[in-house]
Amino acid sequence: MVNLKPSGSATVDPKPQYGHLSEIDPDFAPLREAADAQFEQLWQMPMDEFKMAWLTTPPALPPNCPVPGKHIEIIDQKAPVRDGTQVGIRIYRPIKPQSGAALYLKAHGGVSVVTGARRNR
């Protein structure tokens, strides 16, 4: 069994040039204590339970997001890359596509691209 340990809460004074980046967002500040308490529970979980919780917990989404099964379908597939390795991809496809909708691509955990209108096939 592996338990994750929090890295601690040591405060470091940021350098002047980037100090503004370490300020707590005022919208998050009231939630920080509750979030820390929730993460503390995660750090105490056995690794197998943590992985299962991570994989099965739905993401917290803002209001008016597309609902899977109602507005979008989610498809998990494998796609070959240059060396022939199969990598996992997740496709979010509208159930009722609209003409002129934008294409959003997120790759490698952070690269995002939005293109203009696409044509329906």
Could you tell me if 112 and 85 lie in one domain?
yes
The pLDDT, as a whole number, for residue 17 is 77
Residue 112 lies in a domain: yes
Is residue 11 situated within a structural domain? no
Q: Which tokens belong to 79? A: 């796609």
CA distance 91 to 58: 16
| Domain end (from 56, 87, 106) | 56
- Please tell me whether residues 52 and 76 are part of one structural domain: no
Same domain for 77 and 113? yes
Q: Considering the domain boundaries, does residue 42 fall inside one?
A: yes
In the chain, pLDDT over 70 holds for what percent of residues? Answer: 76
Phi, psi of 35 (to 5 degrees): -65, -45
Does residue 97 sit within a domain? Answer: yes
Where are the alpha helices (H) located in 1-121, listed in sequence order?
32-44, 47-56
Residue 10 lies in a domain: no
Domain total of the chain = 2
Return the biggest CA–CA distance within the chain.
55
Whether 112 and 76 share a structural domain:
yes
Contact 50, 4 (CB under 8 A): yes
Per the CB < 8 A criterion, the answer to whether 85 and 78 are in contact is: no
82 plus 113 within the same structural domain: yes
Residue 90 in domain: yes
What does the pLDDT look like over 90-110, one tens digit per residue? 888 999 988 888 777 777 655
Domain that holds residue 97: 72-117
- The predicted-structure confidence for 53-90, as pLDDT tens digits, reads as follows 888 887 777 788 888 899 999 899 999 988 999 988 88
Is 1 within the bounds of a domain?
Answer: no
Q: Is residue 95 part of a domain?
A: yes
Tell me the whole-structure pTM to 2 decimals. Answer: 0.43
